[in-house]
Each structure stands twice: as structure tokens, then as C-alpha cells.
Amino acid sequence: MSKEMIMNSDSIAGTSPSGKKRLLSLNREVVGCRVCPRLVNYREVVAKVKKKQFLNWNYWGRPVPGFGDIMAPILVVGLAPAPHGGNRTGRVFTGDRSADFFVKALFEARYANQPRSIDADDGLELHGVYMTAAIKCVPPDNKPTSEEISNCAHFLKSELEICNRSRVILCLGQLAYRSTMNLLKRDNFFSHKIPKFEHGLEIVLSDGRKVFASYHPSPRNTQTGKLTMNMFSSLLQRITRGLGQTS
């Protein structure tokens, strides 16, 4: 899928024409967003300066929309695009070490057709999974401000509504978890105090959907052993069993 194809409805997996149309419209809005000056400046500076190993790349340098099957039972929410990952490739969870870990786990659990997510033209297909991020632009030091989180919330809210076949929402990291749960609580899908984030946490919403929490598959977590492949694969297996599927 080329960068131009990100905006093409043919690149959106799923069977609902109305859903595809809504997501295509949302993706246009996401990609064109310039609401947060700090994030706009940072993503464009990164795209201009680049990383030494990617000097020949034409960086995306814009907000990054979601990717995958909009009819999927599993919706994955991450933090934000990485500076030389999603901000470079134009696809969420693509081209960085977090993507290497995450997509390999999806492949081994049979939710992806290949174990690597390298660039937007690599042929990756997700089966039963839609993945996105709470923040659509790369934030400096992976730390968006509360205002930036608030500005981006309506995009995630729209994705939650469009992906209305989801039965599981898997949040990767505390920021994704808090952003998602705040939206769900605001929309009356959860009426209690939001539980403290912890890996493996499982929450049942009022409509029967479940929210699962996991440590984010960042190098900081995976290289220190805070999140191992066994831990993450076990969580995916638990989710799969809950969906009545086999892995």
C-alpha cells in the first residue's frame, strides 16, 4: 500500500461500504489536521532532518490514521506514531522496534499475514484486528500534553464508533488506556471509577465489550523484560479464547 493508497477506500479492510466511507472521510480529516502547533512543528522537523539510516526516505511527516479491518472483533489502541516509524512510513505500528515486536506477536497469533511491518508497501494484512493510536502525531519524547490528548480524542471516538463490531479493545500502555477509558466513561459505557492501569487488566463494559490493558511494546519495556513476548502472546491467547476463536 503506497502512501497515496492510505486515503483509498480499497485499502480499508472490512465488508461495510458505509463504514469504509466514514473511515475514509475520517482519515482525510486526520491526515489534514494541524490543530496542535507543537506537534505539527515536531513531526515536520523530524521529517525534514530525518535519521541517518533513513536519509533517502521521503518521510510521511503528517498525522497517521488507523489501519486494518474495520469489521474486526479486536481494536488495538497504541500511544502515538514513532518519529522514525509511523511518522516516516505513514502507517501505524510500522518501521520501528515496537512494530517489530507487536506485528510478530499478531502473526504468531494468526492475526496478521506476515511477521514484519516495514513500510506501507510491504503487503501487511491484518485479520480480525484494527490498530490505531490515541495521538495521531508523533509527540516530542512520546509525551503529548493534556491539551494535545484532548484535541485528538474525537478521532479515537470516531474510530470506536466506526469499528462497531469490535468486542475487545486492547490498550497498549497507560496513555492509550486512560484515553480510551475516559472516552468510554464519558459515553456511559463504564460507570465506575476507572481502575488503575496494569498489564493484563480486563474490564467489562456495559454493552458487553471488554477492555484489556498491556504494557506498550516499546524498546524501553521489551529490552528490560518488563514486557516479554511470552507475556504479550499469553494475553493475545486469552483474548482469542474469550472471542471463542482458536489460535
pLDDT digits (tens, 9 = 90+) for 18-27: 888 999 999 9
Helix, strand, coil percentages for the chain (3-state, nearest 5): 45, 10, 45
Strands (E) across the chain are located at 67-68, 74-78, 129-133, 168-172, 202-204, 210-214
pLDDT of residue 5: 46
Residue 153 has pLDDT above 80, yes or no: yes
Residue 7 has pLDDT above 80, yes or no: no
Number of Cα atoms under 13 Å in the Cβ half of residue 202: 11
What's the pLDDT tens digit per position in 53-105?
999 999 999 999 999 999 999 999 999 999 999 999 999 999 999 999 999 99
Residue 1 has pLDDT above 70, yes or no: no
As a whole number of Å, the CA-based R_g of the chain is 17
Residues 32 and 148: beta-carbon distance below 8 Å: no
Strands (E) across 71-183 are located at 74-78, 129-133, 168-172
pLDDT of residue 18: 80
Number of Cα atoms under 13 Å in the Cβ half of residue 178: 10
Q: Return d(Cα 229, Cα 107) in angstroms, integer.
A: 12
Residue 159 has pLDDT above 60, yes or no: yes
Closest CA to 200 of 211, 186, 185: 211
Tell me the whole-structure pTM to 2 decimals.
0.93
pLDDT of residue 132: 98
Percent of the chain with pLDDT over 90: 90
Q: What is the mean pLDDT of the chain?
A: 94
Q: What is the mean pLDDT of residues 155-166?
A: 96
Residue 14 has pLDDT above 80, yes or no: no
Q: What is the mean pLDDT of residues 203-229?
A: 98
In order of their start, the domains of the chain are 4-242 (3.40.470.10)
pLDDT of residue 15: 56
